[in-house]
Structure 1
Amino acid sequence: MLDNQAEATPDRRPAIVICAYDTAETGWDPVEDLSGIAWNPQGARTVPVNGADPETLALTLENHLRDRNCRALLLVGRTLQGDSFRVQMRAENRLSDGTGRQDDTGPGLARATAPVAEIVRALNEAGLAASASSESEADAGSYLLYRILSSLPDGTDSPAIGLLRAPAASSDASVQRGVKAAAATMARHLSPLPRRHLY
């Protein structure tokens, strides 16, 4: 009887969408063991989104963020710039190949809303060399970061949105450790969802 009640109770933890946007990425696997249950940081639940072409992914991620229970988005990709993890602080108004503007009327830059400094600190504490960077890279990650940030409606409580880049040569285990450190840090900043009262 208790199990049935537990199953019927909605999960009131805020959601963090984690998206490894490159279809060839193998480093981030949300399912840790044979249980088939995705990893979740304390106080939040993860919603994994698989890689796809940038336009399809942008629409999928925008739809997730329209859900008021979704309070954060962590994009996960690779960097060719150096051998440490990078947390990208901003994205330029560019197409995914780096040419031209993706939005003729949009601002030139969009700034990440995730707690960048704390994520970098958490990565370092997890034994991973990491830094914050203002430099965009001409790829789907920068395209998605700008697209998602610039599509947020005005006057709302903005979700935490960030882009974590792992070094190109990082092992899957290192990527897993980095994603968990970043997502757990973001989760600490999320407010609990309001309780629903039945009358």
Structure 2
Amino acid sequence: MLDTRMLETPDQRPAIAICAYEIGETGWDPVEDLSGMAWNPVGARTLAIDPAEPDVLAVTLSEALGLPACRGLLLVGRTRLEDGFRLQIRTENRSLDGTHRGNADGPGIARATAPTAEMVREMTEAGLKAGVSSEAEDDVGSYLLYRVLAALPEGVDTPAVGLLRAPVDAADERVQRAVKAAAQAMARHLAPLPRPRAA
């Protein structure tokens, strides 16, 4: 379910939706202290999207990116392929079980639109081992990334969409640090929202 209340206030900062898509994942918690307030990068605000069944979640994520205030999406998951954090920059048109094409009319490959080089640099400066990979993993993360990218409308400013994978054994504190660093790098590339016209 998409809670859009935080986007209804007259806040001119663009929003980045952040979704740790695996049910039960504890690595990313948008509320960083006892205040109950969600963490926000400098110059932007975050929209937390809860995990759900993949097909439902794909629709929710696309709806979020359809909101005028939402200019980016960061998917957060795990990887078993490497011991460092990695940004997956491409994904394939595959069904969730990996046995056939997920979208009969869609392109075979979709590429992430997030500023991955800057995100890696920010994570490295935060003391984390990070890199970029074009190797897609056959899991929910790759499936969601493709579904979201394939659903983006043409002819509009393309939002920043990325998939951050944490090592499977990474502690929650390290995942939090990586997500914040990646989101901060994304925020620097987002244009401010247009100012509302006077009545």
Q: TM-score range by the shorter chain?
A: over 0.9
Aligned length: 192
Residue 9 of structure 1 and its aligned partner are, at CA, apart by: 6.0
Matched, 1:42 2:46: no
Residue 169 of structure 1 and its aligned partner are, at CA, apart by: 0.4
Residue 11 of structure 1 and its aligned partner are, at CA, apart by: 1.2
Superposed CA RMSD in Å reads: 1.1
Q: What residue number does 2:25 align with?
A: 25
In structure 2, give the amino acid aligned to 1:165. Answer: R
Deviations 1:16-54 (A, max 9, x none): 000000012100000011111000000100000111111
Residue 97 of structure 1 and its aligned partner are, at CA, apart by: 2.3
Distance change >3 Å, CA 79–CA 195, structure 1 → 2 = same
Find the residue that maps to 1:166 and give its secondary structure.
strand
Name the TM-score, length of structure 2 as normaliser: 0.94
Q: What residue number does 2:94 align with?
A: 94
Matched, 1:153 2:148: no
Matched, 1:82 2:65: no
Determine what percentage of the aligned residue pairs are the same residue.
62
Q: Which runs of 5+ in 2 are unaligned?
A: 1-7
Matched, 1:65 2:65: yes
Q: What residue number does 1:172 align with?
A: 172
Q: 2: distance between equivalents of 1:34 and 1:67?
A: 29
In structure 1, give the amino acid aligned to 2:148. Answer: I
Q: What residue number does 1:3 align with?
A: none
Q: What residue number does 1:110 align with?
A: 110
Name the TM-score, length of structure 1 as normaliser: 0.94
Q: 2: distance between equivalents of 1:9 and 1:96?
A: 37
Q: Which runs of 5+ in 1 are unaligned?
A: 1-7
Q: What residue number does 1:140 align with?
A: 140
Residue 66 of structure 1 and its aligned partner are, at CA, apart by: 0.8
